[in-house]
Structure 1
């Protein structure tokens, strides 16, 4: 005797019915990521693109020499890009940028057989990137607006909101100023300290400064995102006895 289908709870189908009604009206449902998902995405991007290469470089530098450290950090960046491509996941713009900068640093240092240039180039790069960030404030799309899509799904409607545009400009100014200050401080450190001290201090201070800047960035983003309704609010169920 054929089995009858099990009854379906209509309450479970209500959200699907609402979404179907939205699609029937020609308006696709808007899905906003939760804050936790955005933070995980940012954390993973920074970990893969910045933290792991720096840790690899310092470890190999202490155990072997600077040339092995260069190869290890660069190899990690290319391996991370290749892994994401093979697994059909788009590498972040930050990962591409880090790999490109490290490639130029390594090639110049090897070509000129100078480890000093390897450490000098990031200073020049920080200064150049800071200049790029600050100069982009004169354009319609500052640098942060171009990179924001790596961390949050943006469309033209969101990107053109006045509050979001102000946020992008302020964050571009923040990162440009931090980059300029970091370039100046690192240059002083390179010229005044032994190489071992320089590598140790830079390995500690650079991630710390970047982490503080990221924390300030996230705090500003959360404030604006809540105001603009871009983060899903989690409503806690009220106990029946309350």
Structure 2
């Protein structure tokens, strides 16, 4: 009997092909992913630095922030989770700042370097606008599943260009703010205002980025649950 049933089952299956559309995460899932990346790479190191600075001084705070970044990278690698480009970039910048400060034995140099690094990163973002892949396009895969077809869509390409410009301008603004604070404020005031100000700017910029990206994603039909297409019907 099984030999008679199998062909009919196969015939019905062939007449009703089942195809799975690419997975498109919901907006809340994207927001959670962005928020987690910012939390791990930006917010927690800033909180650790300021807390340790208040309790133990500058050098322990510097080491604690750097230890957190590499600890987060090691933990994600050990648990086979993707290490975000944002976390790697933050760790590289912190490593450079810490190394130069230790070699020069100067905490002032440690606080001067964000001005240089923010300016350099902003310049890299601006220069990347002349390439086929602006900097935001290179980091987008950390927050949304990207492929070549999706990245080449006109709306998506314009979004990457505008977001790259946005973060470049913000980098220059942060560098200018930090330079003014470093020259005009005491160390305690500088650390407090810079920590709060930089964190606020980053969070607001992140939400602006999410808002613009969500607008484009809605127009492109990129947000929503995975659906099965059976004989032309979505279920």
Distance in 2 between residues matched to 1:22 and 1:196, nearest whole Å: 63
* Structure 1 consecutive aligned stretches of length 4 or more whose deviation exceeds 4 Å: none
1:36 and 2:15 are equivalent in the alignment: no
Q: CA deviation at 1:233?
A: 6.7
TM-score by length of 2: 0.88
Of structures 1 and 2, the one with the larger relative CO (CA 8 A, separation 6+) is 2
Q: CA deviation at 1:181?
A: 1.0
1:209 and 2:205 are equivalent in the alignment: no
Mapped contact 1:22–1:29 kept (Cα < 8 A): no
Which residue in the other structure is 2:17 paired with? 21
Unaligned runs of 5+ in 2: 1-12, 227-235
1:174 and 2:166 are equivalent in the alignment: yes
Unaligned runs of 5+ in 1: 1-16, 235-242
Which residue in the other structure is 1:14 paired with? none
1:80 and 2:76 are equivalent in the alignment: no
Distance in 1 between residues matched to 2:139 and 2:66, nearest whole Å: 22
The count of corresponding residues between Structure 1 and Structure 2 is 213
Q: CA RMSD in A?
A: 1.6
Encode CA deviations 1:194-214: one digit per residue, 9 max, x unaligned: 111000001110010111111
Distance in 1 between residues matched to 2:225 and 2:146, nearest whole Å: 18
Equivalent of residue 109 in structure 2, options 101, 117, 120: 117
1:139 and 2:131 are equivalent in the alignment: yes
- In structure 2, the residue corresponding to 1:60 is in which secondary structure? helix
